[in-house]
Amino acid sequence: AHKFWSDRGVPHVTPLLPIIGNAWLFIKSMSHFDVFQKILAEFPHEPLVGAYVLTIPVLIVQDRALVEHVLIKDFHHFTDRVFPFGQKRPHELNLLNMRGKVWRAYRNKFTPMFTTSKVRNMLPQMKDLALVLLNVVQQKSDGVDLKETFVQYSLDVVASTAFGLDTGILKEEKESVFRRMIKKAHRMTTPLFISYIIHEFLPPIAKRFRPSHMRSDVVEYFSNFVKEALRSRKNGDIKRNDFLQLMVALQEEGFLEVEQEECDAYLNLQPDDKKSDQLELNDDVMIGQALMFLFVGLDATSTILMYLCYELAMNPDVQEKVRAEVKEVVRITNNMDYDTVKEMHYLEQCIKETLRLHTLSPALIRVCSSEYQFPGTEVTIPAGVKLFIPISTMHLNEDVYPEPGKFDPDRFSPETRSPPCSYLPFGDGPRMCLAIKFVMTEMKCVIAKLLMRYTIKLHSSTEIPLKPYEPSVSIAKCKRRRILFDLERLPGATC
Ligand code: HEM
């Protein structure tokens, strides 16, 4: 059962048991970060490393040149992340899961949501909410749970910029149903973890039983929330230049034109994939896209902000340098608009370094869609093989990042250039994160405001050093230690 990789001459992890393969590694550790670290420590110089989950072969691509082929140059062989069977439930119908021509049609429609001019228009809302955040932390500046505060901030920002709604989560004294449901949606339970493993590694079982990624009460609550938002926008007089308006406009068109390209031919091999050239834009598809805004990236944004504060607290000289930069650019422009935030280069370097040192996704995922020979090698893989690009391990590569465990924002100074595909916190190629400009602006805006008013320090209860981020798929470790901060008001701070 486990001859796939030896037949192709690919070095691989020895399967532990005849049927289980290396699945136990993934399940036992419950953190893919640890798994990739362990596997790649055994094969530090191999461009390609095979493994088996049950009897299914999976491939880890760690050579940067090959990564560039997979993500960019030969993208037409690797357009998708998930196995080819249709996603049917509303929360599954989002860009992350969509495949081939359908994905391309939606991606083209949603890309304009995040242009410079759109993000520029969102900045005033981000700034107002950053001020609300400052007022909230002012009431309790010792032992602040900044991760929780940043989740609330990011939620309010998304609600306001994408849906034109004032959810007021930052301000609420008692937890609302909305907030409770968001928490539920991010909580990993054993059935959800099993469902995740089935979806990731057991396509035949996933195709037959289609276990859900999300609790049904959460799906129902947010489906109603989105339907209501769509309905009131359609019936109301208010028109805004936001995501909800884009969805209303799309739905009014009634369908989405889907163009077939040569590389999509394989999709038609699956009977349930036969799609007409016009895709109906029903409520479920709309809900799927809207839920993507509420769930994709929310945890990532708040966690990165929290780690950035941790690193600034641990490196007071860096914190002082960022603060000086922020004060200077704000003094020159006498404002904090989009162009001012763009000028905060050192702050951006600090965020980039945080994304490297605390990479949240252990790996990018692609599924091979048609037979592929890796350039410069004898290795050929058939359609259907799942590939992992282990970015969290690649970001700690000593050859590219000397002293990889050190927080050093100068690694990203304008004079320094890292080799192609060595830095991938947002992925790369046509499927890279859609919201980079939005999320970088949102993070810079709130941190700039925080630094203008406070010195960020760690609360005495926070254990140092921190362990690397444990992704939410980890059941065993999902009870995250709370990292608390003390915020000391700067003398004369007025903002
Ligand atoms: C710090 C925050 C974030 C990080 C680190 C992050 C990272 C990523 C990564 C690694 C991917 C996969 C890229 C690939 O496979 O090549 C991705 C995809 C995506 N992200 Fe983000 N993301 C963040 C925030 C957001 C936010 C706020 C949104 C808002 C909607 C968002 C929307 C998306 C979408 C739609 C995709 C799928 C793109 C596609 O398949 O076409 N992300 N993100």
What is the DSSP code string of 8-43?
A: TT--BPPPSBTTTBTHHHHHHH--HHHHHHHHHHHS
What is the CB-side half-sphere exposure of residue 315 using CA atoms within 13 A? Answer: 18
Strand order in the sheet with 364-367: 48-53, 56-61, 386-389, 364-367
Specify the pLDDT at position 411. Answer: 96
> Which of 295, 426, 431 has most ligand 1 atoms within 8 Å of its beta carbon, as the pocket-test mutant?
426
Residues with CB under 6 A from ligand 1: 95-96, 107, 292-293, 296-297, 300-301, 304, 360-361, 364, 425-428, 431-435, 439
pLDDT-flagged residues of the chain (< 70): 1, 17-34, 83-92, 188, 200-201, 203, 209-211, 255, 257-279, 467-481, 494-495
Q: Is the ipTM of this complex over 0.95?
A: yes
pTM: 0.89
What is the DSSP code string of 351-389?
A: HHHHHHHT-S-S-EEEE--S-EE-TTSS-EE-TT-EEEE
Specify the pLDDT at position 233. Answer: 86
Q: For residue range 355-404, what is the model confidence (pLDDT) as tens digits?
A: 999 998 889 999 999 999 999 999 999 998 999 999 999 999 999 999 99
Q: For residue range 49-59, what is the model confidence (pLDDT) as tens digits?
A: 998 877 788 89
Centre of ligand 1 to C-alpha 367, Å, is 17
Specify the pLDDT at position 275. Answer: 47
Both structure tokens of 37:
């670290």
What is the CB-side half-sphere exposure of residue 72 using CA atoms within 13 A? Answer: 11
Centre of ligand 1 to C-alpha 425, Å, is 9
Angle at 450 between CA 447 and CA 454, to 5 degrees: 140
Nearest to 148 by CA among 171, 170, 174: 170
Specify the pLDDT at position 27. Answer: 59
Buried/exposed 107-135: b ≥16 CB within 10 Å, e otherwise: eebbeebbeeebbbebbebbbebbeebbe
Specify the pLDDT at position 426. Answer: 96
